Structure 1
Amino acid sequence: MNNPAISVVMPVYNVEKYVAEAIESVLAQTFTDFELVIVDDGGSDSSMEICETFDDARIHIVKQSNRGLAGARNTGISAARGDYIALIDSDDRWEAEKLALHKIHLDNNPEVGVSYSGSQFIDQNGNMLRQAQRPKLENVTAKDVLTRNPVGNGSAPVIRKTALDIVAFRHPQEPMRICYFDETFRQSEDIELWIRMALTGEYAFEGIDGNLTQYRIVSGGLSANIAAQYESWNRVIEKTNKKAPGFIAQFGDEARAYQLRYLARRSVQMGDGAFALSLLKDAYAISAKPLIKEPLKSAVTYAAAGVIRFLPANLSSKIASGWTGVKVAT
C-alpha cells in the first residue's frame, strides 16, 4: 500500500460532544489522499465509541494511556506515514478545501516547513462568531513566531515531516519514544515547538489566504486557567532563554506584552472584563509596542473589556455574545 500524502493527527480526550464534527470535517476534504490518525489519550467518556462508528479505511486509531495533548500528538506523528503532517484538535473543524490548498502550497514552496491559514471562531454549538484569527502570512521571522504566533492554534498548521524531524528528540525517561512536542508542557506546547523550529532557520513559516480552520471557543472557565496559561507560556520563555538568551533579551518584553493582551482577549471571551482590564494594564506597563503597532486591535480589546466590566450583565451579554459566544460572568 502506498503511503498517503498527508497524515492528519487528531488527539482525542473527553470530547464526546464535538469529536464527530471534527472527524466529519476531515473526511469531507476535497483532497482525499490522506490518513486520519486518531490518538485515544485515555479519556473516560464515549469519545472513542463515537470515533469507532466511522467506517473509513483511512482512519487509524492508536491507543495510549493519558499523556496530554503534547504526548498524544507525538504518538500520532510517530505513527504517521505521510510526508506532510496536519494537526487538528478534536473540538475544531476544517473547511473542505483546507488540505488541498495546503498541499499545493507546500508542494510548490519547498523552503516552507509550516503552512498555516487564518481561523474563524465558532461557539460551543458550532455557530460562527464575528471573531477570527488573521495572521501575518509572509516574511515571517523567528521574532514574529515568538511575539505574535502566526500559526494561531493547534488546528491550523500543515507541517513538512522533515521539518519536524530536525527538532525531534528522544523522551528523557523513555528513550525509545521520539518527541516533537515537549511533553513537560500541558499548555503552550505548540508555541514552544514553533519557536524551536523557527530558531533553526532551516524552514520558513508561511500562511495562505482564507480562514480554513474553525476554532471552537468553549464557554466557561476561571481566571485561574488564564493564570496557568501565562505561567506555562513563561516556562516556554525560560526554556528558550537557556538556548537563545540574546533572542529573548531583544524580543522577550514585546512578546510578553502581546501574550498578556492575548490572555486579556481570552478573559473577555470568558466574560471576565475586570481581569481582562488588569491584564491589559500589565501588558502595556511591560511594552507599549502592541499599542503602537496595533492600535485598533488594542483599543477594541480595551473597549470589549470595559463593556463587560462596567455595563449591566444582561446588556453586555447581549452585545458580547455574537463576538465571544459566551455570556458575561456575574
Structure 2
Amino acid sequence: MKQPLISVVMPVYNVERYVREAVQSVLDQTYENFELIIVDDGGTDASINICSEFTDPRISIVRQANRGLAGARNRGISRAHGTLVAMLDSDDRWLPDKLMLHAIHLTCNSHVDVSYSGSHLIDEDGNRLRVAMRPKLGKISSSDIIARNPVGNGSAPVIRKTALDKIAFQHPDYSERTCYFDESFKQSEDIECWLRMALSSSASFEGIGGLLTEYRIVSGALSSNVVRQFESWEKAIDKTASYAPGFIKKHKSRAKAYQLRYLARRAASMGDGPFALSLSFQALAEFPRMIIEEPRKTLVTNLACIAARIMKPAQFAAIAGSWTGQKSAV
C-alpha cells in the first residue's frame, strides 16, 4: 500500500453491536488514501472477529491488554504512517465525504492543526435525532476550548501528526510507551488533550461546515456517571492549572458553569429531575452571565430540568422524545 495521507485510529472494546457500521463508514469514504488502524483494547465480545471479516488491505489490527480509550488511541497514533490522524470511536459513524473535506481543509490551510466539523446525533439503532452538535468554527481561542469545546466529540477531529508529536510524552510507568492522551483519565481525556495542545504548543483549531460525524447516544446511563464525568473534568482543569495557572484562574468559573449546564441536560435526559435542576441552578450561580451569552440554550435547559423535576418520568420521557426524536427508555 502506498504511503497514506490519513491514518484513521479506531479503538475497539466490546462494541459488537456497532463496530461493523463504524468500519464500513470508513471504507465508504470518497477519499481513499488512508489507513485504518483498529486497536483491540482487550475486549471480550465478538467485536474484533467482526473487524477481522473485512479484507480491505488498508486495515490493520493491533492487539493489546486493556488500557482504556486514551491508551488505545495512543497505541494507534504511535503506529500511524499518515501526516494526518483522524479518530473514530467504534460506536460512531462518518458521512462519506468527511475525510475528503478535512484533507482539503488542512492541505489548503497550513496554519490549522486541528480540523473538525459538526455532528448529527443518532440513537442506539442508528436513527438520526432532531438535535445536533453545531460548534463554533472560526476564531477559536483557548477560552472557547475550555468553556465550549468546539471539537465536540472524539470522532470529529482530523489532526496534523506534527501537532500531536509536539505534545507527546513518555508514559510515567512504561517509558517505551508514547502518550498523546493522558491514560490516567477515563473521561475528559479529549478536553485535557485539546487544552494542552492549545496552551503548551499554540495549536490552531478551526472547523469546517457540515455535520460530517454521526455521534451515537447510548441510553441507560446512571446519574453516578454524571458525577464521575464532572470529577474527571475537574481533574483535567487541575492538570491544566499546573502549567497555566493564570489561564485557569481567569476562565474556570465560566467553563465550570457551561460544564454544569451540559451535565444538567444529561441528568434530565436520564429522568433524574432533582439532580438536573440542582445542576442547572449551580451553573447559573457559578456564572450568571451565561443567560446573556446563550439565552436560548440556557432557558431551554432550565425549563427541561424543571419539567423533569415536576413530571412523572414516563411523561417527561415522552415529551423529551418528541422534542429530540429519541425513543423513550422509560
Aligned partners of 1:186, 1:314: CA distance in 2, in Å?
Answer: 32
In the other structure, the counterpart of 2:9 is 9
Q: CA deviation at 1:276?
A: 1.3
Aligned partners of 2:172, 2:311: CA distance in 1, in Å?
Answer: 51
- Please list every run of at least 4 consecutive aligned residues from structure 1 whose deviation after the TM superposition is greater than 4 angstroms: none
Aligned partners of 2:47, 2:269: CA distance in 1, in Å?
Answer: 26
In the other structure, the counterpart of 1:314 is 314
Report % sequence identity: 58
Residues 1:245 and 2:245 are matched in the alignment: yes
Q: Is the 8 A contact 2:280 2:305 kept in 1?
A: no
Aligned partners of 1:119, 1:201: CA distance in 2, in Å?
Answer: 27
Aligned partners of 2:253, 2:327: CA distance in 1, in Å?
Answer: 31
Which consecutive unaligned segments of at least 5 residues does structure 2 have?
A: none
Cα-to-partner distance string for 1:164-205 (whole Å, 9 max, x where unaligned)? 011000111111111000000011001000000011353310
Q: CA deviation at 1:293?
A: 0.4
Q: Is the 8 A contact 1:116 1:151 kept in 2?
A: yes
Q: 1:293 to 1:242 in 2, by over 3 A?
A: same
Q: CA deviation at 1:328?
A: 6.1
Q: Is the 8 A contact 1:219 1:326 kept in 2?
A: no
Q: CA deviation at 1:223?
A: 0.6
Q: CA deviation at 1:286?
A: 1.0
Q: Secondary structure at the match of 1:118?
A: strand
Aligned partners of 1:293, 1:302: CA distance in 2, in Å?
Answer: 15
Cα-to-partner distance string for 1:131-161 (whole Å, 9 max, x where unaligned)? 1111110000011111110000000000000
TM-score after normalising by structure 2: 0.97
The within-5 A match list for 1:165-180 is: 165-180=165-180
Aligned partners of 1:324, 1:198: CA distance in 2, in Å?
Answer: 36
Q: Is the 8 A contact 2:25 2:94 kept in 1?
A: yes
Q: C-alpha root-mean-square deviation of aligned residues, in Å?
A: 1.3
Aligned partners of 2:68, 2:201: CA distance in 1, in Å?
Answer: 28
In the other structure, the counterpart of 1:155 is 155
Aligned partners of 1:252, 1:316: CA distance in 2, in Å?
Answer: 33
Q: CA deviation at 1:3?
A: 1.4
The within-5 A match list for 1:146-295 is: 146-295=146-295
In the other structure, the counterpart of 1:35 is 35
Q: Is the 8 A contact 1:270 1:326 kept in 2?
A: no
Aligned residue pairs: how many?
329
Q: Secondary structure at the match of 1:195?
A: helix
Q: CA deviation at 1:324?
A: 6.5
Which consecutive unaligned segments of at least 5 residues does structure 1 have?
A: none
In the other structure, the counterpart of 1:99 is 99
* 2:103 maps to amino acid: K
Q: CA deviation at 1:320?
A: 1.3
The within-5 A match list for 1:27-106 is: 27-106=27-106
